[in-house]
Structure 1
């Protein structure tokens, strides 16, 4: 009999319960450390700890979670910080970031990615630089001077060889990018490339000049900068801007560890469970960075509510709070008159099951985790007794 089976049998004898994940973890640790003789004692300790961690019946865990996150939130700063150790990247932290997370904003104000590498790319700086160049967007203006020659009615592109070498760009890639410009002819003369519009007009020349300057040569849309940092024995790329969908297509990127602070991008690429984990990690790390210790279970409850229907819903009148079944609770939250008028037109009935509506009408509130209502049919009960 394996250790896992022995633990399950022991729990059965004791008439106790532990979740599968905990049973598997205990079995693994016992096996790794050769603690078979102390198995019963370890399981008893695990049962004790697990039972202490469970929410008590009728505990108002929603209110406790709201207070436990909200109160430390009043001590958070409103500034945009520099990312630790990377002066070039700005990232929103503190209260503005926490508000972004719970509001489920479609895009963070300072999107960024932590791109982890695999194989030789994570230990070789030159190889890591190759990936950074593929991620960071490079426009023509970054590697060449672009001038409008009004007298000749053409746009001159003068490549900067040092910048091109630094970015790992060849002249053929520049010409390939220029060929995408419509209604022009491309001519090479020595070190210069000329873009000649088909229509000779100042207006057309100005349009082409602006288009040529901003033309993309390589990189991912949305990623303004990619910075390589050494962490332990590997290189990691930090980006200003995010393109989570496309970064996985680049060879050498570790798909199992690469993350972004864009929760909606995680939801689109990896699904709702990953998005839930991202909400927990982002909110928890935002509070931790400010030196605020909040029990992670409060944040887990918020993340569960936000993702309970398989999508990401904000906490607010456009999301969770606005979806309350009670007319009075919705009216108490915001835009009171509109809610009452809409409800009266529809002929809605308020069941008075929540907290806010019962307080408003002066009734005792029904509150707490695990509280249930039982309706007993007396006639059927008497039949059973007979």
Structure 2
């Protein structure tokens, strides 16, 4: 693994008799620290892809006891547990092996370790080889039987649902009709078959199986890929649904009409090893074609999106007073990302500056207790309070309140966990023996020296992570959002926990947000409830919000004609009204009818007969037109809104279990617009209610709420696709879109309103128009932005171009002494 000249200290063998033997884990310990002169003490914990948690009887998690050896634990450069895979060695992971070496021991240590591993890997692959043959994807007889059993069980469930549907007894999903509920149920069962066969393959294949090894270590492939090769290709989807009908009432002429069985709607039971039947092959090509088309369309969309975002944000730069300004000097942020930290060097989860648990582990490992006394929990609090009151922890020294709070909270958690461990270990003794106390202190305690080293390390690192003046954060932010957007593959996703509600996600959703579209595809209001633990109260509030028409709650609407009068009698279905928890009777219906403008009815035209019956008399006096008027009234009445908000199509009740209490919490998803009306609905907690429609949020709650909405929507869309982007980039985009006091899309129209210079606008779109308007209006261009400087050949005022260089006390011919100005117009 070295050059041959590097000294290597062999560790003590793991097995001494009958012959000296070393383990692979010891090999990795040598790889990180080959000899005693290498002062690299790596302390690191990472959960690999194969990690599964194991818990003790009292609920404590035993991380290092993972049955798959998926918990990687380095202590002082010794690999104690775990198999190293992509999460530790690759992935660009901020908590991976090389990232930690880079931060703790500078680039040389990381590069040397990388070099040793590369040489070792090449040597091993050269000696042993690693290849895939047809035998690797050949299922055993036992696996084949198990697969057939899983598919048979799945098919029986599907047939059972189809039978219930045909008999009209299928239980409906909220917000869906019988056909949609059937499709949703069958799709769920068939997707589960693929997941089950994937798990089966991972269990049954030999541990030396090459595809299995590749999947487990994270280099390529997944359980589904292996399952498709070995066991079952699974359900093919087109537009997020099963195969559509290409012929009359059937997908292919090979099946009877109206059949909804798995095989007739695109389920491929064969594997790629066994080969697909002709119909299965055809369905597979349908799914494949959609993937190709989607990729081609998405590439063009994200390319153009990337160009627009880059163009609008290219001028943004951190100044030396810590503010973020554009080329014309407008302030967008008083402190970049609200804390002035550099996203590129963040370590912790969710963009936190430091990975505090790892640094605490490192401080305890590299500073042995020795003769130092362990400190009590009360002393910990005192040392922390004293250190955090020093000058380098004041706001003037550039320390944010958030960092102080995170440090205090982390150490409070440590104190709490120490007390718990102390109680668990000491529960059987009244008088604690000294040896027991010593063991607990060694496992969970901390000395004053370790605590001081930890605090000093955290504080010095925090101050080194501040963003420098001149950083072009605009272009960095634009690329940080656009690059992951280019990698997004799927267009839509099911709403979390609600099978019936499809919402726009992926590239189309990112486009909607950044273009500030007025009418988004699927507006959804997430309404929090004042009483969120009771399902009945959730149903009552849902009834107040969801639009209920007269046609939905009426048992009959009939024209009654006698010799003297003609009217329409409406009979309400009271049992259905009670089931839906709607407070509706004949008087409520009367008021609803009177509020409709086009009907021209007065109070005396509507007669309430009893609670469930009312009679409507037309206001028409001309007997010749009476019959026509009656029928037009009868056609109009079913669509009248009796309860709820007109613009809300449907409301779905969602419940989630809380991790701590295990209680169900209810909230409502309202599909449609009407945020103001929802906020004013009795039973809705307005302070926790949100909408995904940025423009409606701006109209209802103002520009600050719209900014937060933009940031949260980008964040949630990226998270759905498993992409973690630093929040500071999203905050930057939110500020660019809202700093003018209105929500501006990142389009040619939005750019025009952002008061950009003539050249900057002309270099984007509609070149001739902008140059012509600039000339006609005699506009002056200060040539300060990035595009203008490049076009005019002037140094850009970003990074090292922000300042001039003084020479011998005089202002030299610096970058901006020749203040270039362009004047448009005659002369």
Q: Which category of TM-score, normalised to the shorter sequence, fits these structures?
A: 0.7 to 0.9
Q: In terms of mean alpha carbon deviation, does 61-70 or 148-157 score higher?
A: 148-157
Tell whether 2:550 aligns with 1:140: yes
Aligned-residue offset at 1:302: 0.5
Picking from 575, 583, 607, the partner of 1:169 is 583
Residue deviations 1:68-98 (CA, integer Å, cap 9, x gap): 2112222334734331331222211111111
Aligned-residue offset at 1:144: 1.3
* Cα distance change of structure 1 residues 374 and 155 upon mapping to structure 2, 3 Å threshold: farther
Secondary structure at 1:187 match in 2: strand
- For 2:537 and 2:447, the matched residues in 1 are separated by 47
Picking from 532, 538, 550, the partner of 1:128 is 538
Secondary structure at 1:67 match in 2: helix
Aligned counterpart, 2:726:
295
Aligned-residue offset at 1:343: 0.5
Aligned counterpart, 2:508:
96
Aligned counterpart, 1:20:
401
Preserved contact between residue 30 and residue 36 of structure 1 (Cα < 8 Å): no
Preserved contact between residue 495 and residue 501 of structure 2 (Cα < 8 Å): yes
Aligned-residue offset at 1:359: 2.0
Tell whether 2:427 aligns with 1:7: no
Please give the residue correspondences for 1:239-318 in structure 2 after superposition, counting only pairs within 5 Å.
239-318=670-749
Residue deviations 1:159-198 (CA, integer Å, cap 9, x gap): 2233322232332322332343532512355764332211
Aligned-residue offset at 1:50: 3.2
Secondary structure at 2:734 match in 1: helix
Aligned counterpart, 1:199:
620
Tell whether 2:481 aligns with 1:56: no
- For 2:489 and 2:698, the matched residues in 1 are separated by 28
> What's the Cα RMSD here?
3.4
Preserved contact between residue 57 and residue 370 of structure 1 (Cα < 8 Å): no
Secondary structure at 2:651 match in 1: strand
Preserved contact between residue 680 and residue 686 of structure 2 (Cα < 8 Å): no
* Cα distance change of structure 1 residues 316 and 322 upon mapping to structure 2, 3 Å threshold: farther
* Cα distance change of structure 1 residues 293 and 180 upon mapping to structure 2, 3 Å threshold: closer
Aligned counterpart, 1:384:
none
- For 1:361 and 1:74, the matched residues in 2 are separated by 32
Secondary structure at 1:224 match in 2: strand
- For 2:799 and 2:734, the matched residues in 1 are separated by 19
Please give the residue correspondences for 1:162-241 in structure 2 after superposition, counting only pairs within 5 Å.
162-167=575-580, 168-171=582-585, 172-181=587-596, 182-183=600-601, 185-188=605-608, 192-199=613-620, 201=625, 202-232=627-657, 233=663, 234-241=665-672
Please give the residue correspondences for 1:305-384 in structure 2 after superposition, counting only pairs within 5 Å.
305-320=736-751, 323-368=754-799, 371=802
Preserved contact between residue 57 and residue 369 of structure 1 (Cα < 8 Å): no
* Cα distance change of structure 1 residues 149 and 12 upon mapping to structure 2, 3 Å threshold: closer
Secondary structure at 1:256 match in 2: helix
Residue deviations 1:308-333 (CA, integer Å, cap 9, x gap): 23332222222246534321111111
- For 1:241 and 1:14, the matched residues in 2 are separated by 45
Aligned-residue offset at 1:132: 1.0
Preserved contact between residue 17 and residue 47 of structure 1 (Cα < 8 Å): no
Aligned-residue offset at 1:298: 1.5
Picking from 122, 133, 155, the partner of 2:568 is 155
Aligned counterpart, 1:383:
none
- For 1:293 and 1:375, the matched residues in 2 are separated by 43
Q: In terms of mean alpha carbon deviation, does 67-76 or 188-197 score higher?
A: 188-197
More strand by share: 1
Aligned-residue offset at 1:142: 1.5
- For 1:315 and 1:151, the matched residues in 2 are separated by 62
Aligned-residue offset at 1:340: 0.9
Aligned-residue offset at 1:27: 4.1
- For 1:53 and 1:379, the matched residues in 2 are separated by 34
Aligned-residue offset at 1:133: 0.8
* Cα distance change of structure 1 residues 78 and 6 upon mapping to structure 2, 3 Å threshold: closer
Select the structure of larger CA radius of gyration.
2
- For 1:65 and 1:117, the matched residues in 2 are separated by 36
Aligned-residue offset at 1:286: 0.6
